[in-house]
Structure 1
């Protein structure tokens, strides 16, 4: 069957060549030194192409090898197809030596493409990606190739190249192969190029996703402390104190690095709010005044951030944080619960607001209830909220479980419940400001 297919492809490819070949091929030295070698090159190019169209890479290989050796300048497809052929070999290779030889050839294909067809920045990016993909031990070599690609391609650098470069930057920084300042420089450059790419409307979805990844990698890297960030960004702030995009970038970065008490954050946040009042700018100022222990102003800006924010997850975050302030600084339990409920409405799968409400209830046990028994029933309502937090958000499971264990020991005992005429499993309404319906649960005496 394969022999018949091979014969068919050969006949078709020769027919395609004879009917479509341009006369100037025979006068073009890129195809060979004389008419016979040029004819052979053209035939091999056609055969290679036909096999590649139907993904018969092993059948395409002999023709590909001939054109690579004898007429490497004749077509860029030699290198495009060569990458496909050797990626296929690498994906199938089991023997480490076979895989190493295939990877060496793949790297050579990229080098020859640059030699004969240029596009060095683009091609180096893809070369670096493949080197890292197929040999994870060559982190530094892959990093150097990708960095050179970024230097050459600049804004045109493919988003996948940028993200991988930042991943390698982070890994090499933690392995003490590169300095933190180099990682920071890479972050500044890549985020700038991605921002420009987004503004220009080039592959916007990919660029936006890449930018989020780059920012997350940098935020987790730990490469920059507040002092270094101030040293890097203060000169630019002084040069362009009203550059909206820069102000957004630097304030977000300083928040992620817990540098809200820095002078640079103060100035940047205030300027951002002046030039472009927004939810983000208001939030930055709320964080700023909270750090300064000016809770009244912090609350004012939190409310403005909540009012102006359209992203529901961010709005929930702001509501939750303001709720914490109302609870911890003003003992405003009812107001804090209202904010936590708003956060739940905007982000139902987030457990922290439920935990906040549970803490509000648990903290009310000393002030709610007309007797000791009623005070202990408060913990039913608190534990209900911790259980809900655990059920909706895996990230708070351990915290919620510990709170359930802690406060369940304060449930009424069986005798007290019997004395007040209630039993396990019955419905019960907790009064005071809480006004929650819950279920009776008792603890056994040890």
Structure 2
């Protein structure tokens, strides 16, 4: 008995739904109201035929009301018209969109939006073409604040994509891309679903770009907007395979563009591409060659343009004669340089002349200029001391020992003004204690300790005599 009741309930529900479906698909054919329905149909169609929603919105209030009221009448009498055309549904959607745009009442907007979606559902029921109509319905839902980024919108668009396949319209790409990105960020869908749906959309776009002569360009433009919407999450959604497919064509078209090559290589590494794969190794090698060529070119231009920089590089390379010439160009150029910079240049000149060219006199002149241009820098004084020691080797024994005293005074002064050179100064001092003047030699020359004595041999200093112990 219980099973019989359940069967009767199920039968009643199926009859009810069938009746409802039949009512919404009712035609005027052979009905008592056929003439009334067709007259209303003709009146409103005369106004709306061939017009877009924007055209309907531009109608005068009187014209619009005539069209709307007669559509309402024709639709209520025969929703499916004569059964051969879906115009009562599609025209109703367009007319209701105008009312939706014009009303400012929130509740009224909500009711109109719901009615628009119902008309889509009824048209699907009566005239099929479900994939196309679901796409249009989902598109409208996305741009209605009442639905927008909601689950119901996603479900409709998803169904449109899955049922439509390559026939899905290009207008679905951008909204679906935005919703996918939003749903993934908010945790409403997981990575596998985001990957799957995006891949389907991408396949639809690519198929139509290649095979749809009429709308191929529209698919391309819509895909670009979809990609842009999805860009902020694509790193989290996709791995190496996706980015390889996306970026390798860009690399292959621009294999000599350093920025493109660098971007593609770095991006693929970030997305997990194995650096040992052949295509990655080839790209890395190409990048390194391009980078070297660019850097070499920039370096050459910089050295040609900047004598100061070129001189330092020539010095590092061991081209000392050229370095000296470029240092002189640097000092005589219009390049702005403070005293500290000039001091560094003179110090470099002095270093080359003393340690590389064995020109102690020239080195001494440059080192003194370096010392005069800056305070608190001990290295020029170390170098001056080294010049004195070297110059002294060409003089008699007594004068050479006085030269050592002059050098030692410079070493002591260097570490007194610059603690950073203290170790170097102490090493030099320790080397020269044994070369100081001998007390017996001083006695023979009638020179006593503490006496001020002039040092010749090109040094031109006065030193305080000190004897070695």
Q: TM-score range by the shorter chain?
A: 0.5 to 0.7
- Paired with 1:141 and 1:376, the residues of 2 have a C-alpha distance of 68
8 Å contact kept, 1:131–1:138: yes
8 Å contact kept, 1:146–1:161: yes
The residue that corresponds to 2:73 in the other structure is 66
- Paired with 2:148 and 2:75, the residues of 1 have a C-alpha distance of 27
8 Å contact kept, 1:366–1:375: no
Matched, 1:160 2:171: yes
Deviations 1:74-114 (A, max 9, x none): 23111221111111011111110111111111111111111
**Structure 2: any 5+ residue segments left out of the alignment?**
1-24, 57-62, 253-259, 314-325, 339-469
Matched, 1:108 2:118: yes
TM norm structure 2: 0.50
- Paired with 1:44 and 1:248, the residues of 2 have a C-alpha distance of 58
The residue that corresponds to 1:434 in the other structure is none
The residue that corresponds to 1:350 in the other structure is none
Mapping for residues 198-347 of structure 1, pairs under 5 Å: 198-202=209-213, 203-222=215-234, 224=236, 229-230=239-240, 248=249, 255=264, 258-260=267-269, 264=273, 270=279, 288-289=283-284, 294=285, 297-300=286-289, 322=291, 326-327=294-295, 330=296, 332-334=298-300
8 Å contact kept, 1:365–1:375: no
**Structure 1: any 5+ residue segments left out of the alignment?**
1-28, 238-243, 271-283, 303-321, 338-356, 379-446
TM norm structure 1: 0.52
| Distance change in 2, residues 1:149/1:259 (3 Å) | same
| Distance change in 2, residues 1:112/1:257 (3 Å) | farther
How far the C-alpha of 1:46 sits from its partner, in A, is 0.6
Deviations 1:169-190 (A, max 9, x none): 1111112211232222122111
Deviations 1:201-230 (A, max 9, x none): 3401101112222333333224536xx524
| Distance change in 2, residues 1:249/1:229 (3 Å) | farther
| Distance change in 2, residues 1:193/1:142 (3 Å) | same
The residue that corresponds to 2:108 in the other structure is 98
| Distance change in 2, residues 1:210/1:33 (3 Å) | closer
- Paired with 1:216 and 1:185, the residues of 2 have a C-alpha distance of 18
How far the C-alpha of 1:298 sits from its partner, in A, is 2.4
User: Alignment partner of 1:134: what SS?
Assistant: coil
Q: Which moved more, 1:35-44 or 1:108-117?
A: 35-44
Q: How many pairs align? A: 275
The residue that corresponds to 2:27 in the other structure is 31
Mapping for residues 125-140 of structure 1, pairs under 5 Å: 125-135=135-145, 138-139=148-149, 140=151
- Paired with 1:92 and 1:174, the residues of 2 have a C-alpha distance of 34
